[in-house]
Amino acid sequence: MKSLVGIFTKQLEEAMEIGGNAALNPCDKKISNVVITGLGGSGIGGKIVSQLVADNCLVPITINNTYDLPGFVREDTLVIASSFSGNTEETLYAVEEAQKKGAEIAMITSGGKFLELAKANNYNHIVLPDGKSPRAMLTYSLTQQFFLLSQYGLISDEFKKEIPAAINLLNENLEAIKSEAEMVASKLKDKTAVIYSEAKYEGVAVRFRQQLNENAKVLCWHHVLPEMNHNEVVGWAGGKDEYAVVVFRNEDDFYRTQKRLDITKEVASAKTKTYIEINSKGTSRIQRAMYLILMGDWISVYLAELNQVDPIEVRVIDHLKAELAKI
């Protein structure tokens, strides 16, 4: 996993080439809404992108992480289905329902039943390269979300400039990112991480939580501000030093939320000595998000080393899938 995190920017470069070369068909439907459906490492890219384009996307985007689809899905809905393996059970069920409802369907996958369905039905689809782990292929699936939304005329092509700019930013700051990540990992050892971010960066926080779960084999949780200030902040009355707070901060966080973060720090720091703030870098939301994603990925693999666990291994998920296959 460490070597896969190490090629993050190379993956982004290749992902841009794949999206740019994808043979996509025009759509004569007027799309009224979008549902992005997927699970785990295949699904989180949709949530991240939906937040990054929220200010300029022409229609609402709903994230779907289960078997069925929202009731509003109909012929003028674009359903983007993402499954790295192409065999994700929940997402296959969702695609079947999208077909019954006559929705416009586009797919992101490396093969499996997804690719068969896409070819058989002439759905727009983008094929990803093979890889060892869906969560290590986020760069590919995330990037293709941009290309599909652009293909349907729902967002601008600005991402085609911003992602290369993010690649340059990450390459220039790589050693600093790794150094900070190693320091943070050392502080998270034997602690339960509590991850906070501004609401519009929640997808990035979720990605970090997932990486700690799967790579470092630890439990943790996340919340976002300002919502956290209306409930969880009270729970810090029962806070303990075993909790380690990690806050993702950005210069474009809403100014009142920035003040809320400062006050929340005072509350949580009264209960735990481990309160870490990570400030993103970059001149755009795409750049800042990529910076924090890579930071979180490095933290998770460094913590895996400290915990002496195999970051690739996910036997419990394999067991769960095997048991479901018996039904």
Residues known to be catalytic: 214, 230, 321
* Average pLDDT taken over every residue of the chain: 94
pLDDT at 323 over 80: no
pLDDT at 274 over 90: yes
- What's the CA gap between 61 and 59, in Å, rounded? 7
Kindly report, as residue ranges, where domains of CATH 3.40.50.10490 are found in the chain.
2-157, 162-307
- What's the CA gap between 324 and 33, in Å, rounded? 32
Q: Which CATH number fits domain 162-307: 3.40.50.620, 3.40.50.720, 3.40.50.10490, 3.40.50.1000?
A: 3.40.50.10490
Prediction pTM value = 0.94
Q: Over the stretch 7-17, which tens digit does the pLDDT of each residue have?
A: 899 999 999 99
Run of H or E including 124: strand 124-127
87: closest CA among 105, 61, 69, 107?
A: 107
Q: Over the stretch 91-126, which tens digit does the pLDDT of each residue have?
A: 999 999 999 999 999 999 999 999 999 999 999 999
3-state secondary structure at position 82: strand
Domain 2-157 is of which CATH architecture?
3-Layer(aba) Sandwich (3.40)
